[in-house]
Amino acid sequence: MPFKLKPTYIYEHVREIDLDEMKKRGVKAFLFDLDNTIMPPKTGFFPDEIQQWLDRVKQDFKIAVVSNNHNLKYLEEVKKVSDFPIYFNAAKPSTKIVKEVLNSFGITPEQAVMVGDRPLTDIWVGHRLNMITVLVDPLMKHQEHDIIKFLRKLERSFIRLN
């Protein structure tokens, strides 16, 4: 059988995640991809509706960002608008940085959710650690170049829906 990934949940937007359900599942933390998951790429700010949602998440859960981005200037901008840990250059689907985050939070992988817009990085790293995984549509999906749309479609062909 060909390689297939099955996210625990698939939503159009992070704000669709049912926080009460996650509490019932014993979730203690959310690990988010950054670009196109909770922040429009290269902007350095959270849209108001996402900032408000993140403020709600922080009431009951620990939060961290785990990003493959390695642009130092951009990362400094993101850190200025974030009051939670930011981990960059994570090399997902490598598990090294994600394990570091989980250890710093004092939780097991089963108590955490990995949320992202990329199956072959975000969802795969979550699978490798037996985390709950949430695949969301990219924030800027309608403004992406055609080649990026094609690559996303190709990448999503690795998703198993049942």
Domain membership of residue 93 (yes or no) is: yes
Q: Which domain holds residue 115?
A: 9-156
Please report, for the domain that includes residue 127, its CATH number. 3.40.50.1000
Q: Quote the distance between the C-alpha of residue 121 and its chain's center.
A: 9
Of residues 147, 119, 148, 110, the one with CA closest to residue 28: 110
| Residue at 61 is within a domain | yes
Binned average pLDDT, 10 residues per bin, the chain of 162 residues? 75 96 98 95 93 97 96 93 96 97 98 94 95 89 56 60 59
How many structural domains is the chain composed of? 1
Is 4 contained in some domain? no
Percent of the chain with pLDDT over 70: 83
Q: What is the DSSP string of 48-92?
A: HHHHHHHHHHHHHSEEEEE-----HHHHHHHHHT-SS-EE----T
